[in-house]
Amino acid sequence: MLPWPGEVLEERAGEIAVAFAALLTRQAAWRHRRVETISVLSHELVRRHVSVDFTVPLEHREEIRLSDTEWIVPLAFLAKRLLVHFDLRAEDETSVPLLRSDEAQQIARELLYVMLDLDTEQAVEEDVGPLIEWILAATAKDGPDVAAAVDELQERLGPLPGFAAAAEWLTGGFLLCAVLTDVSRRRVLKFAYDEPLGMPGRSLHFYDAPGCTEAASYHAEVEVPDELRARSIELVDDPSGAVLATGARDADRPAIHYSAPAGTRLQPILTVRYGAERARFLIPAAVVAWVIALVLALPYLFADLPALATSGGPAITILLSSSAVFSGLVLRSGEHPLVRLMLARYRLWLVVATIAAVVAGAALAFRASEGTLLLTWGIGAVAAVLSAGILTIEAARAPAAAKR
């Protein structure tokens, strides 16, 4: 009778973990290139498309064998969260199976024991089983407690650099292990998943970039939504704040390329600052705001407003034009969620100018008293000029439209 797949993995987990210990401590030696494309779905969510170009070293191919036609390869560490819309494919776009989280934990458990054995020269008499189970079950918020327990263990057994590093990896993430039918050649695997942002902002976004140190060469691109540009893009080491690489400014598809020096320990993040293109909304909004400002300011300064109140024509014209402005520039449908968020404050100023025009036109149409007319049109003119000035300044500072 043939054993169940789970029984095979349980028997092979120790030997696979030995190979993983070598592969994960020298990731850049066999992962040639990692390419990431980050598609912005909203200000709170992105979708990552990742491709990993690798060659499994000949000396470890037999160790990672699961069966006659299956090999397990550690592709990456992913954050401990539910994988949403996950997809894993080979070069020819065929689907590739992966180990379930509980199966990957079997190898991770053996990996921790292997790293502990490698770090110590004599048999370990301490009962490290509870600590290892704690590490496997820990989430990122439990990281400091696990680190303290590892430090306490190092005080008893001496330095444990490999074990401490593996504990750090497994505390913050889990192993993504692909099951392949061929590791005799250079392979490229692609996976994609949705990822929530930890600190969503209006214009400045932070994207984790752990793959920066998981391959010899790292390349990241960001798909910027229409009507926006990336004012700047930087790869930064989060603890130290050191800038590792920068990309082109005011780009519609900014990119970063980086090769981490051997042995470097980083916590890299990708920072992208977005800005609205001036020609799509800001310039039309500024022009309309100036038209409204002139319509209000010139009659206030030079016309006889009480006399104009006897005719409804000018007031109706102002009301209709203001409504058209509001529906055309403020109530647009089908916008990208991040674009809507970015333009919200600019639309607010356009709304201020529009409301000023509506209120002034209404005062004229309903033949308000002379004092009320002058006060309404004066305040409206000031509000419209202020809105127009702010929109003009923002349009001047905004990036030009991308050549698409």
Whether 69 maps to a domain, the answer reads yes
CA atoms of 277 and 300, how far apart (whole Å): 34
- Would residue 165 count as lying in a domain? yes
Q: How confident is the model at residue 305 (pLDDT cuts 50, 70, 90)?
A: confident
In a domain? residue 43 = no
Which of 275, 290, 306 lies at the terminal end of a domain, its last residue? 275
- Residue 181 and residue 114 share a domain: yes
Higher pLDDT residue, 362 or 340?
340
Q: Are residues 340 and 389 in the same domain?
A: yes
Higher pLDDT, 55 or 327: 55
At residue 320 the predicted structure's pLDDT band, cuts being 50, 70 and 90, is very low
The pLDDT value given to residue 272: 93
| Residue percentage of the chain with pLDDT more than 70 | 86
Backbone angles phi, psi at 32, to 5 degrees: -75, -40
Mean pLDDT for all residues in the chain = 84
**What's the domain range around 20?**
1-38+49-191
Residue 25 in contact with residue 171, Cβ under 8 Å? no
C-alpha to C-alpha distance for 197 and 203, rounded to whole angstroms: 13
Same domain for 183 and 236, yes or no, is no
Residue 44 lies in a domain: no
Which pLDDT value is given to residue 360?
A: 83
State the pLDDT confidence band at 33, using cuts at 50, 70 and 90.
very high
Q: Please, is 364 exposed, middle or buried when counting C-beta atoms within 10 Å of its C-beta (0-12, 13-18, 19+)? A: buried
Question: Is the pLDDT at 49 greater than 80, yes or no?
Answer: yes
Q: 121 and 232: one domain?
A: no
Question: Worst-scoring range by mean pLDDT, 31-45, 121-135, 158-172?
Answer: 121-135
Based on the fold, state whether residues 145 and 1 are members of the same structural domain. yes
77-112 tens-digit pLDDT: 888 777 789 999 999 999 999 888 888 888 988 998
Q: Does 403 map to a domain?
A: no
How far apart are alpha carbons 195 and 201 in whole angstroms?
15
Give yes or no: residues 164 and 284 share one domain: no
Q: Is the pLDDT of residue 367 over 70?
A: yes
Query: Of the spans 171-185, 292-306, 315-329, which averages the highest pLDDT?
Result: 171-185
Mean pLDDT of all residues in 148-168: 82
Average pLDDT of the residues in 264-287: 87
- Residue at 382 is within a domain: yes
Whether 404 maps to a domain, the answer reads: no
Same domain, 55 and 72: yes
Inter-CA distances, 49 with 28, 74, 115, 323, 354, Å: 20, 17, 31, 43, 43
Question: What average pLDDT does this structure show over 22-38?
Answer: 93
The answer to whether residue 402 sits within a structural domain is: no
Whether residues 375 and 392 fall in one domain: yes
Name 270's bridge partners.
207, 235
| Residues sharing a CB contact under 8 Å with residue 50, sequence separation 6 or more, in sequence order | 34, 35, 36, 37, 76, 190, 191, 192, 211
Domain match, 255 and 359 both? no
Do 68 and 177 fall into the same domain?
yes
Query: Number of folded domains in the chain?
Result: 3
- Backbone phi, psi, residue 238, to 5°: -60, -50
Q: Which of 117-126, 150-159, 283-292 has the highest mean pLDDT?
A: 283-292
Band of residue 2 on the pLDDT scale cut at 50, 70, 90: very low
CB 27 within 8 A of CB 77: no
Both 106 and 230 in a single domain? no
pLDDT band at 298 (very low <50, low <70, confident <90, very high): confident
The pLDDT assigned to 245 comes to: 93
Strand extents, DSSP E, 80-216:
84-89, 173-180, 187-196, 204-208
Q: 220, 245, 275: which is the final residue of a domain?
A: 275
- What integer pLDDT is reported at residue 38 of this predicted model? 94
Mean per-residue pLDDT, 65-71: 89
211 and 230 assigned to the same domain: yes
What confidence score (pLDDT) does residue 161 get?
A: 86
Reported as a pLDDT band with limits 50, 70 and 90, residue 315 is: low
pLDDT value at position 25?
87
Domain boundary among 248, 275, 302: 275
How does residue 329 score in pLDDT terms, banded at 50, 70 and 90?
A: low
